């Protein structure tokens, strides 16, 4: 049995609500009743519009679902449910692991379970969650997540970008920071693959910004290089063919400048792993330069290779900054 778990928004509110309702209806009565029992379709529509959720399907049929709720202590998983007739088949586990992927940049996954449901509490503990508090009738559990990733080469950098891309929704902002030749464009190539946008992601240094349309009905990718911008107000003069509210925006060299584009953001900082020497761009080559073995730093101002690059090991730090 193959479980397909995907990030969804308000357009799937009816499916998410139906799955969660079926799961909670099958539980023994609780006192006080579970909060989910008072929810209606409108509640789910608003929650999914705000922060999204996960929908797990088997053979195209929705069988599991949850709501995502970013908080100061981590990404909270709410209304976690699997249809009773398919419980015990790995769907819940698949949703937990998908949530960990979506939570990239958060400190932890957070859940609340009812004290009178020890099997439910045990499920979370079996999946790496640790009890942090009790406030009747709930047990709060937390699964810490790493915010620093060791990236050994270019393929791994693209793979990390793909993971991040699958976690993003329309309106999200990614502020990408790194030294010359750090691999920012390589990361963005993977991110574009994760989003399912039209390819050809290269450094936009000379054109300032490029729009990569979605091929899968998701958000477009707006790829901005702020290296030459005096201020992001200049974006208004670029005549982009998409609204930033409807796209995922990645800004290279954007720290201290791009934050005004969105209320929240994902900050990605790429640095050379320790003990690899001080030469900027060492081990990073491209065939897109002069054709004589020039480094990517020679080929373009930000030093990122467009293709065929070989990256030294990097350390990538990811941090979610929530709206105030």
Q: How far apart are CA 52 and CA 78, in angstroms?
A: 11
**pLDDT-based confidence at residue 39 (cuts at 50, 70, 90):** very high
What is the predicted pLDDT for the residue at 262?
82
**pLDDT-based confidence at residue 40 (cuts at 50, 70, 90):** very high
If you average pLDDT over residues 99-120, what whole number do you get? 95
Lowest-pLDDT range, 103-107, 180-184, 228-232, 264-268? 228-232
Q: How far apart are CA 194 and CA 72, in angstroms?
A: 26
- Is residue 143's pLDDT more than 50? yes
CA angle 53, 55, 60 (to 5 degrees): 155
Choice between 257 and 282, residue whose per-residue pLDDT is larger: 257
Lowest-pLDDT range, 46-50, 202-206, 251-255? 202-206
- Is residue 275's pLDDT more than 70? no
- Is residue 78's pLDDT more than 70? yes
**Percent of the chain residues past pLDDT 90, beyond the cut:** 65
Do 114 and 33 touch, CB atoms closer than 8 A? no
Lowest-pLDDT range, 106-115, 126-135, 233-242, 277-286? 277-286
The owner of tokens 């709930």 is 138
- Is residue 196's pLDDT more than 60? yes
Provide the CB-side half-sphere exposure for 24 (13 A, CA): 22
Choice between 233 and 51, residue whose per-residue pLDDT is larger: 51
Q: How far apart are CA 55 and CA 77, in angstroms?
A: 12
If you average pLDDT over residues 75-95, what whole number do you get? 97
Choice between 32 and 319, residue whose per-residue pLDDT is larger: 319
N-term to C-term CA, the chain = 42
- Summarised one tens digit per residue, pLDDT across range 161-172 is 999 999 999 999
């Amino acid at each position: 049995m193959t479980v397909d778990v995907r990030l969804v928004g308000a357009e799937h509110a009816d499916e998410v609500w139906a799955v969660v309702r079926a799961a909670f209806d099958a539980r023994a009565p609780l006192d006080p009743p579970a909060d989910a029992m008072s929810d209606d379709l409108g509640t789910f529509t608003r929650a999914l519009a705000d922060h999204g959720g996960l929908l797990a399907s088997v053979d195209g049929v929705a069988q599991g679902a949850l709501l995502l709720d970013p908080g100061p202590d981590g990404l909270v998983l709410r209304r976690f449910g699997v249809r009773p007739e398919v419980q015990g088949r790995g769907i819940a586990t698949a949703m937990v692991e998908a949530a960990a992927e979506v939570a990239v940049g958060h400190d932890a996954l957070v859940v609340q379970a009812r004290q009178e449901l020890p099997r439910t509490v045990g499920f979370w503990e079996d999946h790496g969650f640790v009890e942090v508090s009790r406030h009747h009738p709930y047990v709060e559990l937390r699964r810490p997540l790493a915010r620093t990733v060791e990236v050994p080469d270019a393929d791994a950098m693209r793979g990390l970008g793909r993971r991040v891309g699958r976690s993003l929704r329309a309106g999200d902002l990614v502020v990408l920071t790194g030294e010359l030749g750090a691999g920012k464009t390589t990361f963005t190539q993977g991110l574009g693959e994760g989003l399912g946008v039209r390819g050809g992601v290269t450094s936009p240094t000379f054109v300032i910004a490029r729009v990569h349309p979605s091929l899968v009905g998701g958000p477009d990718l707006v790829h901005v290089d702020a290296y030459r911008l005096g201020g992001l107000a200049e974006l208004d003069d670029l005549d982009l063919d998409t609204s930033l509210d409807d796209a995922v925006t990645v800004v290279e060299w954007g720290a201290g400048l791009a934050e005004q584009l969105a209320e929240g953001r994902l900050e990605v900082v790429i640095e050379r792993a320790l003990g690899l020497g001080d030469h900027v761009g060492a081990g990073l080559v491209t065939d897109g330069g002069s054709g004589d073995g020039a480094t990517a730093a020679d080929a373009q101002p930000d030093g990122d290779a467009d293709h065929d690059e070989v990256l030294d090991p990097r350390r990538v730090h990811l941090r979610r900054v929530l709206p105030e």
